[in-house]
């Protein structure tokens, strides 16, 4: 990617205030999709110039470029002289118009956030991770670099507070919303069901359990396969139960994928578990499935939960693995004990044999995601925060309107739950 690629400004075009969005990568995974959507909402609602710093690239890099200048550094996610130089160069590329705000997408963006803070740029940091993979120093870096730290779920904030002290007034919980508000409405369910079954050569009456994510142990592909083995072994009905995983990752020898394939080789579930790789459009697979199984060991607040809810899929998730149980509140899904393969298999067998059990759940799930988890609402709250920490009106104003005072958001009391 060409460094600092941007559209030329017209000489009579007013200088726009710069806002930098930071992403640790540009893959089709949750955190990059979230920050891309945030950048789009800021660009649509605010009078700003959107700019992006990427630690490394990926499929979504061109989508970030469509919004404004991008520096894809392709550097390790660690402090180094080259990172300092690249960030400084990007900040200084308009010397008389320094960036006024940064929005950083994860703990993995902490070193860029710290360099931006050294340049005097206030930052909002989105912490989408649980603390099991990080140190106290990692969190201190994020807290020092950020004006506000946004957690996607109470479970994530509470886990962080048990691990290290969150500075008073800096942390708050804002759950992100459904990335695409039209998800689940652009395809007819029966057409999707036929499409998926024909693609994989499955029986017309096959019950499909969808999984989605990278092929790694964090996402629990071994749990997924073991639940499939238990389910298929117990299934006594004439209706076959198939497990389809959408997503890619390492498939080489000694990778997690390699070992789950060994587990399947001599299992009754051989031929019933399908790892179909990455798909640009995942909507047909959600619409064409009958249940969604989230087997993550650590998943703070996965976007796929919203997509499953939007397509009215019954969701089965592990307790104590992140924020999924919060999303599935009010009877919107099934939460089974962490790592309990037998319990999860029993739920799947029940849904396959008694589909009427899920009818009320489906309605609750769709209603909850389309009212409580709207991405536009999430972005609006982030814009409010941006206006508060910069003391500047960011939103576009009608011609002739007077600039209002910056918005304020009440800060949560540590340990106290607040409605998102």
Angle between helices 359-371 and 303-310 (to 10 degrees): 120
Tell which wins on pLDDT, 417 or 372.
372
**Mean pLDDT, residues 190-194 taken together:** 97
Query: What pTM did the predictor assign?
Result: 0.89
CB-based burial, 409-420: b 16+ in 10 Å, e otherwise:
eeeeeeeeeeeb
Q: What angle do CA 391, 393, 399 make, to 5 degrees?
A: 155
Whether the Cβ atoms of residue 332 and residue 309 lie closer than 8 Å to each other: yes
pLDDT, position 412: 43
- If DSSP states are collapsed to H, E and C, what string results for the chain? CCCCECCCCCCCCCCCEEEEEEECCCCCCHHHHHHHHHHHHHHHHECEEEEEEECCCCCCHHHHHCCCCEEECCCCCCCCHHHHHHHHHHHCCCCCCCCCEEEECCHHHHHHHHHHHHCCCCEEEECCCCHHHCCHHHHHHHHHHCCEEEECCHHHHHHHHHHCCCCCCCEEECCCCECCCCCCCCCCHHHHHHHHHHHHCCCCCCEEEEEECCCCCCCCHHHHHHHHHHHHHHCCCCCCEEEEEEECCCCCCCCHHHHHHHHHHCCCCCCCEEEEECCCCCHHHHHCCCEEEECCCCECCCHHHHHHHHCCCCEEEECCCECHHHHCCCCCCEEECCCCHHHHHHHHHHHHHCHHHHHHHHHHHHHHHHHCCEHHHHHHHHHHHHHHHHCCCCECCCCCCCCCCCCCCCCCCCCCCCCC
Q: Does the pLDDT value for residue 405 go beyond 90?
A: no
Structure-token pair, residue 287: 């619409």
Whether the Cβ atoms of residue 65 and residue 73 lie closer than 8 Å to each other: no
Mode of pairing for the β-strands spanning 241-246 and 148-151: unpaired
**Residue 408 pLDDT grade (very low, low, confident, very high; cuts 50, 70, 90):** low
**Residue 15 pLDDT grade (very low, low, confident, very high; cuts 50, 70, 90):** confident
**Residue 91 pLDDT grade (very low, low, confident, very high; cuts 50, 70, 90):** very high
Q: Does the pLDDT value for residue 4 go beyond 60?
A: no
Domain 189-371 annotated CATH 3.40.50.2000: yes
Q: How far apart are CA 275 and CA 281, in angstroms?
A: 16
**Mean pLDDT, residues 36-63 taken together:** 97
**Residue 404 pLDDT grade (very low, low, confident, very high; cuts 50, 70, 90):** low
* Residue among 80, 52, 310 at smallest CA distance from 179: 310
pLDDT tens per residue across span 285-336: 999 999 999 999 999 999 999 999 999 999 999 999 999 999 998 788 999 9
pLDDT, position 112: 97
Q: How far apart are CA 203 and CA 209, in angstroms?
A: 14
- Most confident among 94-98, 398-402, 412-416 (mean pLDDT): 94-98
pLDDT tens per residue across span 105-132: 999 999 999 999 999 999 999 999 999 9
- Mean of the per-residue pLDDT values for the chain? 91
Q: Does the pLDDT value for residue 403 go beyond 70?
A: no
pLDDT tens per residue across span 337-362: 999 999 999 999 999 999 888 888 88
% of residues, the chain, pLDDT over 70? 91
pLDDT, position 246: 98
Domain limits, CATH 3.40.50.2000, in the chain: 17-177+374-390, 189-371
Structure-token pair, residue 142: 């994020």
Domain 17-177+374-390 annotated CATH 2.30.130.10: no
CA distances from 184 to 40, 156, 181, 286, 308 (A): 21, 28, 8, 8, 9
pLDDT tens per residue across span 214-245: 999 999 999 999 999 999 999 999 999 999 99
Distance from the first to the final alpha carbon of the chain: 38
Which phi and psi (to 5°) does residue 292 adopt?
Answer: -120, 130
Q: How far apart are CA 347 and CA 314, in angstroms?
A: 10
**Mean pLDDT, residues 70-87 taken together:** 94
Q: How far apart are CA 295 and CA 281, in angstroms?
A: 22
pLDDT, position 186: 86
Tell me the Ramachandran region of residue 187: left when phi exceeds 0, alpha when psi lies from -120 to 50, beta otherwise.
beta
Q: How far apart are CA 340 and CA 318, in angstroms?
A: 8
């Amino acid at each position: 990617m060409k460094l600092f690629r941007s559209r030329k400004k017209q000489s009579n075009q007013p200088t726009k205030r710069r806002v930098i969005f930071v992403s640790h990568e540009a893959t089709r995974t949750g955190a990059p999709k979230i920050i891309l959507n945030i950048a789009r909402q800021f660009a649509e609602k605010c009078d700003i110039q959107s700019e992006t710093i990427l630690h490394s690239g990926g499929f979504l890099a061109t989508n970030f470029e469509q919004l404004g200048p991008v520096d894809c550094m392709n550097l390790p996610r660690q402090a180094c002289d080259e990172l300092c130089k690249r960030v400084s160069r990007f900040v200084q590329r308009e010397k008389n118009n320094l960036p006024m705000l940064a929005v950083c997408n994860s703990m993995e963006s902490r070193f860029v956030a710290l360099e931006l803070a050294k340049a005097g740029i206030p930052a909002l940091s989105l912490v989408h991770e649980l603390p099991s993979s990080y140190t106290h120093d990692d969190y201190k870096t994020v807290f020092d670099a950020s004006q506000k730290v946004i957690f996607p779920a109470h479970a994530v904030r509470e886990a962080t507070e048990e691990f290290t002290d969150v500075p008073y007034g800096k942390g708050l919980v804002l759950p992100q919303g459904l990335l695409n508000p039209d998800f689940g409405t652009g395809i007819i369910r029966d057409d999707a069901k036929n499409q998926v079954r024909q693609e994989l050569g499955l029986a017309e009456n096959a019950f499909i359990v969808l999984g989605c994510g990278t092929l790694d142990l964090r996402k629990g592909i071994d749990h997924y396969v073991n639940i499939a083995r238990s389910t298929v072994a117990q299934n006594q009905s004439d209706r076959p139960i198939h497990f389809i995983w959408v997503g890619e990752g390492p498939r080489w020898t000694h990778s997690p994928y390699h070992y789950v394939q060994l587990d399947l080789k001599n299992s009754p579930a051989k031929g019933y578990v399908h790892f179909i790789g990455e798909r640009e459009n995942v909507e047909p697979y959600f619409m064409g499935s009958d249940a969604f199984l989230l087997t993550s060991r650590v998943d703070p607040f996965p976007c796929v939960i919203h997509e499953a809810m939007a397509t009215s899929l019954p969701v089965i998730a592990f307790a104590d693995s992140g924020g999924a149980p919060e999303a599935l509140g009010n009877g919107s899904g099934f939460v089974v004990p962490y790592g309990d393969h037998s319990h999860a298999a029993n739920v799947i067998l029940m849904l396959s044999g008694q589909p009427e059990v899920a009818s009320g759940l489906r309605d609750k799930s769709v209603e909850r995601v389309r009212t409580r988890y709207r991405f536009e609402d999430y972005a609006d709250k982030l814009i409010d925060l941006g206006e508060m920490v910069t003391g500047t009106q960011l939103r576009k104003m009608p011609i002739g309107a007077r600039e209002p005072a910056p918005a304020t958001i009440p800060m949560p009391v540590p340990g106290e739950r607040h409605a998102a």
